[in-house]
Amino acid sequence: MNIKRSVFIGHAAHCESEEKAKEFIREISRRFKDATHNCWAYKVNMNGVEKFNFSDAGEPHGSAGRPIFSAIESLNMTNIVVVVTRYFGGIKLGVRGLIDAYNSTARKTLEMGQKGKYCPGKRFSIEIDYSMWNTFIGKFAQGKDFNIVDVEYGTSVRATLTCKSENFKALADFFVERRIPIEELGRVVFVERL
């Protein structure tokens, strides 16, 4: 977003903890270390306790971090971190102009992002023939029952999938009944696309 020659760039990510939010903030700040400012806000729910924080990162007090946090709040989002990077263009915007610029950049960033419901899940891999893969795809809904992390089409289909913990038994049963080996790869956060 360009406002009076200043460039505002929004970045957002899902995060399950304050530490993950801070890692993302550090990553964006390193990537855009030549920027004038990397202002941020996050809101996470950790074991039923809501935690949030924000920073103006050198902008006038209350002109950046709080407006970014307001965008998160206005969209009723949780477990999210937003960093707005600013390259100063030589024209001062004033506090009101900064508030509007940071808020609208954060809001547009969040509105443009892929939304999802995050649930505890499992990650697993399979190798399956094409006809059985088509049966699987026809029986279960991608994005709801499972997600494809990686798929390789060769003489057979090799896929790494994720699913909600509650769906794992039904998916595993499908493969076990057909004598298809399934390799559990651990726990993950499953994203159900909205």
pLDDT tens, 46-84?
Answer: 877 899 999 999 999 999 999 999 999 999 898 999 999
Provide the Cα torsion 93, 97, 100, 102; round to 10°.
Answer: 30
Q: What share of the chain is helix, strand, coil (3-state, %, to 5)?
A: 35, 40, 25
pLDDT for 187: 78
- Residue 76: other Cβ atoms inside 10 A: 6
Confidence of residue 191 (pLDDT cuts 50, 70, 90): low
Between CA 187 and CA 14 the distance in angstroms is 17
Task: Set out the domains of the chain in order of their start, with CATH numbers.
Answer: 2-112 (3.30.230.30), 116-193 (3.30.70.250)
Please give the pLDDT value at position 90: 86
What pTM, to 2 d.p., does this model score? 0.67
Q: Which tokens in the block code for residue 175?
A: 């493969």
pLDDT exceeds cutoff 70 at 41:
yes
Dump pLDDT digits (tens) for 103-161: 999 999 999 887 677 778 899 999 999 999 999 999 999 888 998 989 999 999 999 99
Question: Which is nearest to 170 in space by CA: 108, 124, 127?
Answer: 124
Any residues with CB less than 8 A from the CB of 91 and at least 6 apart, and which?
Answer: 4, 5, 6
